[in-house]
Amino acid sequence: MPSRESDERIDVAGPTALGDAVAATRRYALKQGLGEVDSARLCLIVEEIVTNLCEHGVCDLDYEISVELGHRLSAIDIRIEDNGEPFDPRLASLEVGPPARGGGAGLRLVRSWAEMIGYESNDGRNRLQLIMPLAG
């Protein structure tokens, strides 16, 4: 993501990673003056991606997650990086999974509000890039 004045990097780790990521995303949305709908969508996208990482062990103390947010005219750029096992959510099935885990509802929600434009795994780091169009 190109550097802009509105870019922000959020680094989280450990058992508080999910709450810390969502709280920092909410503060970013407020600071950027996003409307209620866009703010809620951005927070839910970050929450769902970080929740999936936590469910797969990335919120253990040895793992790190960073969320980079960039506000541009009509969208929010989102890049989420972690040092967990490689997993490309663009390739994940959207078929209903185990109900106790939400049955894939989180990824369906993310895909309905944001475009997953890139994923790579290099040097022990996973990088997922998304663009969330602003509703206005």
pLDDT digits (tens, 9 = 90+) for 61-114: 677 899 999 999 899 999 999 988 888 888 876 665 555 555 678 888 999 999
CATH number of the structural domain spanning residue 65: 3.30.565.10
| 1, 21, 80, 82 from 11: Cα distances, Å | 16, 8, 10, 10
User: What's the pLDDT score for residue 113?
Assistant: 96
Does residue 3 surpass a pLDDT of 50?
no
The domain tally of the chain equals 1
The whole model's pTM is what?
A: 0.86
Q: Would residue 2 count as lying in a domain?
A: no
Domain that holds residue 21: 14-133
